[in-house]
Amino acid sequence: AGPTRDVGAATGGPGSSAPATRAASPEADPGRAAPVGSTDPTVVVRPGDTLWSIAAATMPGADDAAVAAAWPHWYEANADRIGPDPGLILPGTVLVAPSDEAAR
């Protein structure tokens, strides 16, 4: 298992009841997102996180279309931890990043 990363709180995205907002850019808070290509990184869910915001935080510079394609892979990689509703992830849950191939 790789390092555990803490992406921080952000809201919005598909399946979210929170208003859609963009996650803070990595430049604003360097080191908070698991770097793309890391070996088996994990992310600890914080209050307000969504799969969309977590995917966006791990894809610096990605546009909405890329994030929209990536967040379902986060769910597929963690469905056993999340349960049947990808819009409901609980703070403290440790998520494993999908493989690079699946996330692209």
* Mean predicted confidence (pLDDT) in 25-53: 67
Structural domain range at position 80: 1-11+40-104
Does 55 fall in a domain?
yes
CB 23 within 8 A of CB 61: no
Q: What is the pTM of this model?
A: 0.62
| pLDDT exceeds 60 at position 37 | no
Q: How many residues does the chain have?
A: 104
Q: Taking the CA of residue 43 as centre, how many other CA atoms within 13 Å lie in the half-sphere pointing to its CB?
A: 33
CA neighbor of 1 nearest in space, from 31, 42, 34, 57 = 42
* 5's tokens: 């990363």
In a domain, 25, yes or no: no
How far is it, in rounded angstroms, from Cα 55 to Cα 23? 10
Residue 47, domain member (yes or no): yes
Would you state the pLDDT for residue 56? Answer: 97
Sheet with 94-96: list strands edge to edge.
Answer: 4-5, 42-44, 94-96
**Residue 26 domain-assigned (yes or no):** no
Instruction: Report the range of poorest mean pLDDT among 3-17, 29-43, 73-87.
Output: 3-17
Instruction: Look up residue 66 and give its two tokens.
Output: 């890329």
What is the reported pLDDT for 65?
98
**Res. 73: pLDDT tops 90:** yes
